[in-house]
Amino acid sequence: MSLNLATVLREAAGRYPDRPALIAGERTLAYREVDAAARRLAGSLAALGLARGEHVALLLPNVPEFTVAYFACHLAGLVVVPLNVMLKADEVAYHLLDSDSVALIVWHELIEQLGDGPARVPACRLRIVAGGAVSSHEGAHSFDVLVASGAPVDELPDTAPDDTAVLLYTSGTTGQPKGAELTHFNLMFNADMAARVHAVDETSVALAVLPLFHSFGQTVIQNATFLRGGTVVLLPRFDVKAAFENIVRHRVTFFAGVPTMYFGLLHHSEAAHYDLSSLKICASGGAPMPVDVMRRFDENYGANILEGYGLSETSPLASVNPRERVKKPGSIGQPIWGVQFRLVADDGRVIVEPAVPGEIHIKGHNVMKGYYKRPVATAEAIQGGWFRTGDVATRDDDGYYFIVDRKKDMVLSGGYNVYPREIEEVLYRHAAVGEAAVIGVPHEALGEVVVAVIALKPGAQAAAHEFVAFCKERLAAYKCPREVRFVEALPKGPTGKILKRALRGNW
């Protein structure tokens, strides 16, 4: 049996060749144009010596080149490794090395930001620059030239449903990010489920403000909309006024965002000047949606925000408030079709009674194959087919789930997952740091902000801004502390473990 995610584009191009597939500013690409570009780029990638099953990293913002490269890789039988465009040199080098990427397709404006990161990974032998000239980048290929000159790939490769299609990097409290292996079947089926629950069809116009390198934007916006033959309007970064203008100009019907985006749209000083009556369905995820923000947004704009839940490891959609049944603000809804949830107590007991908290375990077609090259981590995360999320929830009598806590220390800031251990390891590289702990502190607009609590070495002196600057040189901006506080010593338990609960209690 063969299955390939590029079927999504091929079928849409066959059914709706002249329908707008992508709109980016003044650029509009029909489905036949996106399909032709992807097939030619796939031919060029093969001609450059890339072999089926090899890994290609994409460092691209929300531009048409992302979508073209994404489907071109699938057409060539290659595994896509989408990377966060905020990553710096050390982070990029780590991701390229860990993922065994043999090629990097990068947006021209990001090259300076990467520094020598790619050069540290000799196995990543190809550089392809998109959106600009490559004359100053020795050995690099032009994305546009490869698209224009490639011999089109006419047939889909016979990839199996369980072959890895995308290697999506996530992280945890134990340290470095891990690559979640998502299969062609995972992503195809999850896109179909996303389209079903959000009523996406060929008339839909979806606004992509969520980054396509993230599973939420990739599956729920790009893939789900393409699967139904709708139109995707691309914004490289979220800007409230630009979002308003694009919704109005293109009569956007489907919007997906994290709670901070809804907060921004709701509180913008010129919000009343925009007619958002075209919106039919909105999706929210990535962080808990404040009930008051949901209620006011729905009332002000006549929209219907459906809050859902998922993780990179679940492709990502796992549950959502059902469109055709009652919506419960504050709930992540019910598991999507074919997916099971169970709540498990600390002692391993499966909780059957309502209103009792337990860790969410997920089983279904959306659960990843595992973590790339990490059999131990995979075995810890997936047991008996059940993926252990680390999130604690309750279930009511109607089968709706409510997140109440996280076992992990992950911070959810502005829709981004921030993992304290990664930041702490950077802080410990500073000569003045004796002890460091990073926590999330509640914030009205961002959900949480990153705060570093530091105990200096005896006799050491340093100001808060020095640590912020130190982190900014080594980490993506969204990971850097918004605030630094100093203490004599960090609170610890009997085993010497730092008690982050005690630190959070001070805010």
Q: How many Å apart are CA 215 and CA 165, to the nearest integer?
A: 13
**Residue 498 belongs to domain with CATH number:** 3.30.300.30
> What spatial distance separates the first Cα and last Cα of the chain, rounded to whole Å?
55
In this structure, which amino acid lies at residue 101?
Answer: S
Q: How many helices and strands in the chain, by DSSP H and E?
A: 16, 28
Whether 35 is covered by a domain: the verdict is yes
Query: Is residue 102 assigned to a domain?
Result: yes
356 inside domain = no
**Can you give the pLDDT at residue 503?**
86
Structural domain contains residue 427: yes
Domain limit, last residue, from 152, 183, 214: 183
| Number of structural domains the chain divides into | 2
pLDDT along the chain (507 residues), means of 10: 96 98 98 98 98 98 98 98 95 97 97 95 97 74 97 97 97 73 98 98 97 96 98 95 98 94 89 94 87 90 95 97 91 97 95 94 98 97 96 94 78 83 85 90 89 92 95 93 93 66 75
For 367-382, the DSSP string reads S-SEETT-HHHHHHHE
pLDDT reported for residue 320? 98
Is the CB of residue 235 less than 8 Å from the CB of residue 262? no
Closest by CA position to 339, among listed 371, 377, 365: 365
Contact 485, 452 (CB under 8 A): yes
What does the alpha-carbon distance between residue 74 and residue 2 come to, in Å, rounded to a whole number?
A: 13
Q: Where do we find the tokens 């947004």?
A: 297
1's CB contacts (< 8 A; 6+ apart) are: 160, 161
Nearest residue to 334 (alpha-carbon basis) of 345, 318, 350? 318
User: What would the pLDDT profile of 52-65 be if each residue is shown by its tens digit?
Assistant: 999 999 999 999 99
Q: What is the pLDDT of residue 135?
A: 57
The string of pLDDT tens digits covering residues 114-128 is 999 999 999 999 999
> Where do the DSSP E strands lie in 209-265?
231-234, 254-257
Last residue of a domain, one of 183, 198, 216: 183
CATH number at residue 87: 3.40.50.980
Q: Do 385 and 379 form a contact (C-beta atoms < 8 A)?
A: no
Q: Is 68 domain-assigned?
A: yes
- Boundary of a domain, candidates 144, 163, 183: 183
Expressed as residue numbers, the domain containing 148 is: 7-19+28-183
pLDDT at residue 171 in the model = 62
State the Cα–Cα distance between residues 455 and 488, nearest whole angstrom: 5
Q: Is 333 left (phi over 0), alpha (psi -120 to 50) or beta?
A: left
Helix (H) or strand (E) holding 205: strand 205-208
Residue corresponding to tokens 């498990």 = 344
Return d(Cα 209, Cα 227) in angstroms, integer: 19
The predicted pLDDT at position 173 comes to: 44
Q: 3-state SS of the chain: helix, strand, coil percent to 5?
A: 30, 30, 40
Residue 193 belongs to a domain: no
Q: Does a structural domain hold residue 430?
A: yes
Residue 110 lies in a domain: yes
